Amino acid sequence: MTEAVATQTEEVEEQEAAVDLSIAENVIQRYKDIPGNLMPVLQGVQDEYGYVPRVAVDYIAERLNVYPSQIYGVLTFYAQFHLKPRGKYIIRVCMGTACHVLGAERIKETFYERIGIGHAETSPDKRFTFELVACLGACGMAPLAMVNDETYGKMTVQKVDEIVKEYTALPM
């Protein structure tokens, strides 16, 4: 195991040890009498923690009497679920055709340079998660980026700088 991987593993273990399972229990209580409650429980757990911690998967499996493997099957099938903590600000850059033609590559590279993380990565301070996505359905505003629910059209390198500056200044 390399040193970097070992450090990452230790970080994940620390995060998992800090997970308060009473939060997962509250979610389970909310849906416990509803048939087919696995999906709402997982969604509720993700809403509470911001992702689905592995210790919560084991806990849910025990409480709902299902195998952890069944839960991981659901979590990996649906793209909305995340097994790792995510940043407070999710930056998405569209790589669809219209955005690609109008310079998405440059926008992507500039974000990489400014925030120092690549696709599907989260900054160590958990401020940013960066994702490349397919067409966001607003091709008339290409090239397009989003931060959480906020849309930024006609992106330029200068706009990348402004966005990074704005969200870096916000409190965590």
Examine residue 96 and tell whether it contacts ligand FES (CB under 6 A).
yes
Residue 41 or 104: which CB sits closer to ligand FES?
Answer: 104
Reading phi first (left if > 0) and then psi (alpha if -120 to 50, else beta), residue 149 is in alpha
Q: Are strands 128-133 and 89-94 parallel, antiparallel or unpaired?
A: parallel
**Least Å distance between CB 98 and ligand FES?**
4
Contacts of ligand FES in 131-170 (CB under 6 A)? 135-139, 142, 144
Residue 52, strand partner residues: none
| Cβ-proximal residue to ligand FES, closest one | 96
Examine residue 99 and tell whether it contacts ligand FES (CB under 6 A).
yes
CA distances from 36 to 17, 31, 40, 41, 43 (A): 29, 9, 8, 10, 13
Contacts of ligand FES in 42-71 (CB under 6 A)? none
**Least Å distance between CB 82 and ligand FES?**
23
Examine residue 97 and tell whether it contacts ligand FES (CB under 6 A).
yes
CA distance 51 to 99: 29
**Least Å distance between CB 43 and ligand FES?**
26
CA distance 18 to 29: 21
User: Applying CB under 6 A, which residues contact ligand FES?
Assistant: 94, 96-99, 135-139, 142, 144
